[in-house]
Amino acid sequence: WQIETDDLTEIDVVRVEVGRTVSISVDALPDVEFEGEVVRIKPQSETKAGDVTYTVLIDITKGPVEKLKWGMTTFVDIDADPNL
């Protein structure tokens, strides 16, 4: 399974690298935890409501993926490098 998030701002994208760990939660599965890894940061930005944003692709590496369904709302917390 892979998650695509398209709301990483230009301020945050510089602190995220491929290989970073991601904590994932799913609205429909509040008691279930997932983990993932950033596998790609698309180089082309988009503008949304005046903000420059980037799309990040995340592979789910841990958790009961068989419980996931297409279109479920997920929240990701990327372990960004504060030194970047």
Of 62, 83, 77, give the one whose Cα is nearest residue 20.
77
Predicted confidence at residue 84, as pLDDT, reads 64
User: Which residues are within 8 A (CB) of 64 and not within 5 positions of it... i.e. 6 or more apart?
Assistant: 32
| Half-sphere exposure at residue 53, Cβ-oriented, CA atoms within 13 angstroms | 12
**pTM score:** 0.87
Q: What's the CATH class of domain 2-78? A: mainly beta
pLDDT tens digits along 41-82: 999 999 988 999 999 999 999 999 999 999 999 999 998 777
Residue 47: which region, alpha, beta or left (left: phi > 0; alpha: psi -120 to 50)?
beta
CB 69 within 8 A of CB 46: no
Going from N- to C-terminal start, the domains of the chain cover 2-78
Predicted confidence at residue 76, as pLDDT, reads 94
pLDDT tens digits along 6-45: 989 999 899 999 999 999 999 999 999 999 999 999 999 9
The radius of gyration computed from the CA coordinates of the chain, to the nearest angstrom, equals 13
